[in-house]
């Protein structure tokens, strides 16, 4: 057998292993191994909760992100928890803005926003008022983006003597606008009152003229992708198509996003986003409102692909 520790001489005779050391200075240098490709780190994720929620509600979502995108920096903002989530939405926008600014400043490649229910409206306002935001994907998780018009346990607890048909009397008053729910209460039978009284939704929708409308639209269009998630079995968002910017007309027939005036007028940028392929709609049946942030299939289908 041939010795593994020998080399062949000029006449094919094996050389002792010691000769290898003597010949090393005369051998051509070996090329260094190619460095292993360095994977680009995942962009940070910021999570904003909904009405009566807290950061604890998103423990499952946090686990899913850590499993599929290890090393991702995920910040579940712990602000306006529980009953504090009833504070006026502009107040909440200011608080969340102060929290996200330093996170964005440390992420030159951008961040992702995952915003649940009422938090989706907070995040949309953030995209409007922040001149230099760097949001890559804004994931709106079962959020009443075109407003809410339906009886829910939340409303019955907050306004026990009112029904959806007469809640406008409270919500479209200065006192009512001090409650977050009333900031996006959208009664299709009292559109004039809504437009005149809404201190939040009508403004970020560009449905009412204001001096910041042009700047807000420009800011909103900085977003990379707008991912809209919702479904017919939600049970809270009414109509559920509000998650996709659909809403009732005066006859309570649901008009889809492309039929809404805010889209046709491109009042805050929806039409422009859709034209450039930046709007993604992900409808998911069979998921109740409180399970959107804990359903693994939903996460893998509608959220995980956008967390680059």
8 in helix, strand or coil? strand
Give the residue from 56, 66, 61, 118 showing the smallest Cα distance to 93: 118
**Alpha carbons 303 and 140: distance in angstroms, whole number:** 10
| 60 given a catalytic annotation | no
Decide if 289 is catalytic.
Answer: yes
Q: Per the residue annotation, which of 117, 137, 198, 267 is the catalytic one?
A: 117
CA torsion sign, 271 to 219 to 125 to 170?
negative
Catalytic residue (choose from 234, 242, 243, 293):
234
Q: Which of 133, 186, 289, 293 is catalytic?
A: 289
β-pair type (111-116, 135-141): parallel
Listed in sequence order, the residues at least 6 apart from 192 whose beta carbon sits closer than 8 Å to its beta carbon are none
Whether 81 is catalytic is no
80: left (phi over 0), alpha (psi -120 to 50) or beta: left
Catalytic residues: 117, 234, 289
């Amino acid at each position: 057998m041939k010795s593994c520790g020998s080399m062949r001489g000029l006449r094919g005779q094996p050389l002792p292993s010691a000769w290898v050391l003597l010949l090393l200075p005369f051998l051509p240098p070996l090329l260094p191994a190619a460095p292993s490709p360095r994977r680009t780190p995942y962009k940070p994720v910021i999570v904003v909760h909904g009405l009566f929620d807290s950061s604890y509600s998103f423990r499952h979502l946090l686990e899913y992100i850590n499993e599929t995108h290890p090393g991702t920096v995920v910040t579940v903002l712990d602000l306006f928890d529980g009953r504090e989530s009833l504070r006026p939405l502009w107040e909440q926008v200011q608080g969340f803005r102060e929290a996200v600014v330093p996170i964005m400043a440390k992420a030159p490649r951008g961040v992702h926003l995952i915003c649940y229910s009422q938090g989706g409206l907070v995040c949309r306002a953030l995209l409007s008022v922040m001149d230099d935001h760097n949001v890559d994907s804004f994931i709106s998780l079962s959020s009443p983006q075109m407003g809410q018009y339906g009886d829910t346990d939340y409303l019955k607890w907050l306004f026990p003597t009112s029904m959806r048909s007469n809640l406008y009397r409270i919500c479209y008053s200065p006192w009512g606008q001090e409650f977050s729910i009333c900031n996006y209460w959208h009664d299709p039978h009292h559109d004039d009152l809504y437009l005149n009284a809404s201190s939040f939704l009508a403004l970020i929708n560009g449905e009412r003229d204001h001096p910041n409308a042009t700047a807000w639209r420009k800011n909103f269009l900085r977003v990379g992708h707008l991912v809209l998630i919702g479904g017919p079995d939600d049970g809270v968002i009414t109509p559920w198509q509000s998650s996709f910017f659909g809403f009732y007309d005066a006859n309570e027939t649901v008009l889809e996003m492309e039929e809404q005036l805010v889209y046709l007028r491109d009042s805050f940028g929806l039409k422009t986003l859709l034209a450039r392929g930046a709007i993604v709609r992900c409808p998911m049946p069979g998921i109740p409102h409180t399970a959107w942030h804990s359903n693994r299939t939903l996460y893998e289908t509608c959220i995980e692909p956008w967390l680059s």
